[in-house]
Amino acid sequence: MSSTGSFATYPSLRDRVVIVTGGASGIGAAIVEAFTSNGARVAFLDVQIEMAQELVARLEETGAPAPLFLHCDLTDIAALQDALRTIIEQFGTVDVLVNNAGDDTRHSIAEVTPESWDRGMAVNLKHQFFMAQGVIPAMRKAGRGSIINMSSIGWVIPSTRVPVYVTAKAAIMGMTRTLAHELGPSNIRVNCVMPGSILTERQRRLWLTPEYEAEVLAAQALKRFILPEEVARLVLFLAADDSSAITNQSYVIDGGWV
């Protein structure tokens, strides 16, 4: 299923410098494409080299400014900080950060070990804080900025079979709110997006059984799956000057599940 219709473009995003984590596939790739089509200068980080290169090549064919891809394991904070320095050296500033990367691999309570707990927090929560920390100086210098943290409705439903993931996604809400208040005086806005069940390629491949599809559609008010590009359009709005008075907020996009 695909969306049809004409959608908003945001002149304020033209030439803005945007960083997207986990931008090679799924929701992240849709976000990279959406910003690129709005004329932004985009850099994205990911560990999926082949998928990232395919995305860059596809976007180059559209004639839009090609995004910059940096291979980076976001659980390696030193590597993350090096990647940020590279981006800021190349582009001169950062206007928008989209903390998108995460991993919702299923796991039971009994399977969780101290080591797997730390890995889950590293891939779903820790890097969001250090990415934000790393862009704040450039945003303060520019006198503006928009940080968008990707959470999930998983902690609200609440989801089962993903206890570490759900814990991290709930924590992102608290982090968003405290950063918004601390950074507001610098005209840096911090908001959160909470997707529901989004029809990504990964979901199709790993989780989309007839039973799960029936569960999702029974729970949602809208009886269809939500697409990655629909999440991307919400992110665009929160990055653009159209939302200049909006901070400290969390936006659910789930077809009416919660």
The residues that are catalytic are 165
Other CB atoms within 10 A of residue 9 CB: 13
Q: What are the helix (H) ranges across the chain?
A: 26-37, 49-60, 77-91, 114-121, 127-142, 163-183, 201-206, 210-219, 228-239
Q: Give CA–CA dist 107/202, Å, rounded.
A: 16
Are the C-beta atoms of 16 and 34 separated by less than 8 Å? no
Residue type at 235 in one-letter notation = V
- Over its C-alpha atoms, the chain yields an Rg (Å, rounded) of 17
Are the C-beta atoms of 228 and 27 separated by less than 8 Å? yes
Sheet harboring 250-253: ordered strands across?
Answer: 68-71, 41-46, 17-21, 96-99, 145-150, 188-195, 250-253
Are the C-beta atoms of 56 and 231 separated by less than 8 Å? no
